[in-house]
Copies of this chain bind each other. A is one copy, B any other.
Amino acid sequence: MSNQELPVLGQDATVEGCCPGLLSAPLDEDQAVVLAKVFKALGDPVRLRLLSMIASRAGGEVCVCDLTPAFDLSQPTISHHLKLLREAGLIASERRGTWVYYRLLPETTDRLAGLLTRPAGDSLPEPAGLPA
């Protein structure tokens, strides 16, 4: 496994500080390219399942050896999907001994959630009651 397989966070532009908000103003072309890369990484069922397995793991870290058995796919295929998630800034990886361990980068999912949130004043009332 090459050095390229080590954590490469933000090797290109990332969504950090990317855009004012997807719903509040038209994106410019550069912003759209950065953001599309992240959404494209999420646009695959296997990658979504991998991300949810990593994100929901108590302890915050998952060995690739625990991810692969959940899929009817080869190890190289799983590794390729994980690489796309990593390049999108959604997860980070660390090799320790034989295995690579993955963890969520919540700043990226937080940022996406924020970008998809309607601007203040444009929201419908929250279904959950707010404390008075």
User: Which residues of A approach B to under 8 Å, CB–CB?
Assistant: 22-29, 32-33, 35-37, 39-49, 51-53, 55-56, 70, 104, 106-107, 109-110, 112-114, 116-118, 123-124, 127
Copies in the complex: 2
The 4 closest A-B pairs by CB, nearest first: A40-B43, A32-B45, A39-B42, A113-B116
Q: How far does the Cβ of A75 sit from chain B's closest Cβ, in whole Å?
A: 19
- Contact among B37, B45, B109 with A118 in the assembled complex (CB-CB below 8 Å): B109
Query: Complex: how many Å from CA A32 to CA B55?
Result: 14
Decide: A116 and B109 in contact? CB cutoff 8 A: yes
Decide: B49 and A26 in contact? CB cutoff 8 A: yes
The residue in chain B whose Cβ has the minimal distance to the Cβ of A113 is B116
Decide: A42 and B45 in contact? CB cutoff 8 A: no
Collect the chain B residues with CB atoms within 8 Å of residue A41's CB.
Answer: 43
A25-B56, A110-B117 given. 20 additional CB < 8 A pairs? A22-B48, A22-B51, A22-B52, A22-B55, A23-B52, A23-B106, A24-B55, A32-B49, A33-B45, A35-B45, A35-B48, A36-B43, A36-B47, A39-B42, A40-B44, A106-B123, A107-B127, A110-B124, A112-B116, A116-B116
